A and B are shown apart, each in its own frame.
Chain A
Amino acid sequence: MQTHSFKPDLPPPVLSVGVLGWLRANLFSNWFNTLLTFFAIYLIWLIVPPIIQWAFINADWTGTTRADCTSGGACWVFVQQRLGQFMYGFYPTELRWRVDATLWLAIIGAAPLFVPQMPRKALYGLGFLLVYPVLAYWLLHGGLFGLSVVSTSQWGGLLLTLVIAAVGISGALPLGILLALGRRSNMPAIRVICVTFIEFWRGVPLITVLFMSSVMLPLFLPEGMHFDKLMRALLGVILFQSAYIAEVVRGGLQAIPKGQYEAAAAMGLGYWRMMGLVILPQALKLVIPGIVNTFIALFKDTSLVIIIGLFDLLNSIKQATTDPAWLGMATEGYVFAALVFWIFCFGMSRYSMHLERKLDTGHKR
């Protein structure tokens, strides 16, 4: 009998690997790409050094008034002096510890959820989601057990931005999932209701929704019935974003093969267990990029509450720039606003990438 001897594995050619190989393949592969590379280096040299010069080298970092800004670069004294307002809005200075406590409570409370070995994680997560909002509302708003009331009209700055974003996200996701399931339901009445809801809220701009919620809604409510302005804005954001989430989730549901539904049904799982245990975990994993995309858009859209006179981070900064004592500091203010927004959005983006990698079970169809 003949035996076949296999050829040994050889190393790849030197010029296709390592730093040199990378440079050659990506930057200098032909004369046109070489030209583009040098042009790009020129552009970077043109743009980046002046920005660094302005933001860091010539910047003023310490002081108390604009008179301390003498070096001609960025005047970060402005941001530093007004940081309290940017973070807390008109929240009474002596009560700001309550905002800090709310934040620490969120960080400490949520921390165990990020420990992989934690037992009964789902139960704890559910409990946290139920208990934390109540505690947070009590801390921020007060009114019970000796905490003085801070009305929502005094909330502002990053605090307000985070409240709207967090409530918007945690309200819109479950509602959006239900709407997506309803739109694919076999029951015509439920389907029609969900389609109508989604198409209505997707069809109107968020600005209109916020405007309507603050101007029109009170006209329809009975005399003397008061509905907090922030609550109305939150409701508007939740309903609006849930329509987008619903369509993203529906895309994921459509990508799940029919066999998964059949296998779940064949073993006797009812509708909700089939969805909750088999279909949604796969569908939601597929649409993480789309969901996070919607969340990031939601986070940035919180600035639109300016239209109904709420002072979120951007609006607080805008207002501070009109202070006669700090005229001409708009650039520093907006750069700071952009930086804060970017940090949060980039954080969400990185977390979603981490989540995608973690949930990847190596099953590629």
Chain B
Amino acid sequence: MSEANKQPSAEPMILMQGVHKWYGQFHVLKDINLSVQAGERIVLCGPSGSGKSTAIRCLNRLEEHQQGRIVVDGTELTQDLKHIEAVRREVGMVFQHFNLFPHLTVLQNCTLAPMWVRKMPKRQAEEIAMHFLERVRIPEQAGKYPGQLSGGQQQRVAIARALCMKPKIMLFDEPTSALDPEMVKEVLDTMVSLAEDGMTMLCVTHEMGFARTVANRVIFLDKGEIVEQADPDTFFTNPQNERTQLFLSQILH
């Protein structure tokens, strides 16, 4: 893989400063500080309940943070709906359970947001949709409904659907966790090719092979805190924190 030595630009793509979040009494995110440059590929991992999913869901306001600042692509996330929608236009998201719209065909799933959010003419939206469906190698399924596809195909459609908005950032929330084992690879391959094109990516995943080959940085969260972050080589071969060592010993057999 070509390792582009980009100069870090002055403005980070994503900035989290002292972010806290509670679910009722439960303190799920504690003082999260994170800065992501354009083109960076971050993998977040950690035990279940560590807050990794919540952290990336705060980046497009599917979850609301109660303290601290989050700035995405120069727009701060506040109560202001305009800001939230502006951020969501630039941030694509892929979910664990795909969340394709079952009443729309694959093609309609892909053209919905470009047509209604970007106000793109139908023809142009369909051209872009077909381009990205070819990119994830399922253009022949465009006329089908999500319910007729396999899990791996559905997740690739979900990735294409997010890409159709031409996002600057892609968030992946455990994209392979709900897949049958033989389908994990086709989704990971798609993500790798996306990374090779220089997309800014944040992935919550347990696929350590993916983290090792694709990530610039691996972030380990536990109990709502960033415990350790390092480049993948250091992270996997020489973890500094005992919690990280324990976690790695449990998932790497």
- Residue from A268, A285, A361, A362 in contact with B113 in the complex, judged by beta carbons closer than 8 Å: A268
Inter-subunit contact B147/A268 (CB<8 Å):
no
Does A273 lie at the interface of the complex (its beta carbon under 8 Å from any beta carbon of B)?
Answer: yes
> A364 to B91, alpha carbons, bound, how many Å?
30
Inter-subunit contact B102/A282 (CB<8 Å):
yes
Does B148 lie at the interface of the complex (its beta carbon under 8 Å from any beta carbon of A)?
Answer: yes
Does A270 lie at the interface of the complex (its beta carbon under 8 Å from any beta carbon of B)?
Answer: yes
- Residue from B62, B101, B103, B148 in contact with A265 in the complex, judged by beta carbons closer than 8 Å: B62
Inter-subunit contact B103/A282 (CB<8 Å):
yes
Quote the shortest CB–CB distance from A262 to chain B (angstroms). Answer: 5
- Determine the chain A residues whose CB is within 8 A of the CB of B95 once the complex forms: 259, 262-263
Interface readout for B91-111 with A: 1 if CB under 8 Å, 0 if not? Answer: 111010101111100000000
Inter-subunit contact A267/B146 (CB<8 Å):
no
> A35 to B65, alpha carbons, bound, how many Å?
70
> A267 to B101, alpha carbons, bound, how many Å?
12
> A269 to B91, alpha carbons, bound, how many Å?
13
Inter-subunit contact B101/A278 (CB<8 Å):
yes
B81 to A, closest residue via Cβ: A270
- Residue from A264, A270, A278, A364 in contact with B147 in the complex, judged by beta carbons closer than 8 Å: A364
Interface residues of A in 256-292 (CB under 8 A from B): 257, 259-260, 262-270, 273, 277-278, 281-282, 285
- Determine the chain B residues whose CB is within 8 A of the CB of A359 once the complex forms: 103
Does B116 lie at the interface of the complex (its beta carbon under 8 Å from any beta carbon of A)?
Answer: yes
- Determine the chain B residues whose CB is within 8 A of the CB of A7 once the complex forms: none
Interface readout for A227-270 with B: 1 if CB under 8 Å, 0 if not? Answer: 00000000000000000000000000000010110111111111
Inter-subunit contact A267/B145 (CB<8 Å):
no
> A285 to B148, alpha carbons, bound, how many Å?
18
B102 to A, closest residue via Cβ: A363
A271 to B, closest residue via Cβ: B81
> A66 to B99, alpha carbons, bound, how many Å?
68
- Determine the chain A residues whose CB is within 8 A of the CB of B165 once the complex forms: 267-268
Interface residues of B in 59-101 (CB under 8 A from A): 60, 62, 81, 85, 88-89, 91-93, 95, 97, 99-101
Quote the shortest CB–CB distance from A7 to chain B (angstroms). Answer: 25
Which residue, of B101, B148, B161, has the highest number of chain A Cβ atoms within 10 A?
B101
Which residue, of B88, B97, B112, B116, has the highest number of chain A Cβ atoms within 10 A?
B116
- Determine the chain A residues whose CB is within 8 A of the CB of B120 once the complex forms: none
- Determine the chain B residues whose CB is within 8 A of the CB of A266 once the complex forms: 60, 62, 88, 91-93
Inter-subunit contact B112/A260 (CB<8 Å):
no
Quote the shortest CB–CB distance from A271 to chain B (angstroms). Answer: 9
> A260 to B102, alpha carbons, bound, how many Å?
9
Does B34 lie at the interface of the complex (its beta carbon under 8 Å from any beta carbon of A)?
Answer: no
Which residue, of A263, A270, A278, A359, has the highest number of chain B Cβ atoms within 10 A?
A263
> A278 to B148, alpha carbons, bound, how many Å?
19
Interface readout for B148-168 with A: 1 if CB under 8 Å, 0 if not? Answer: 100000000000011001000
Inter-subunit contact A268/B99 (CB<8 Å):
no
Contacts beyond the supplied A267-B93, A364-B147: 17 A-B pairs with Cβ under 8 Å: A259-B95, A259-B99, A262-B99, A263-B100, A263-B101, A265-B62, A266-B60, A269-B113, A273-B116, A277-B116, A281-B103, A282-B102, A282-B103, A359-B103, A361-B146, A361-B147, A363-B102
What are 17 A-B pairs at a CB distance below 8 A? A263-B99, A263-B100, A264-B101, A265-B88, A266-B92, A267-B88, A268-B88, A268-B89, A268-B117, A268-B165, A269-B117, A270-B85, A277-B112, A282-B103, A361-B146, A361-B147, A363-B102
In the A-B complex, the 10 residue pairs with the closest CB atoms:
A363-B147, A263-B99, A363-B102, A267-B113, A259-B99, A268-B88, A361-B145, A266-B93, A268-B117, A268-B89
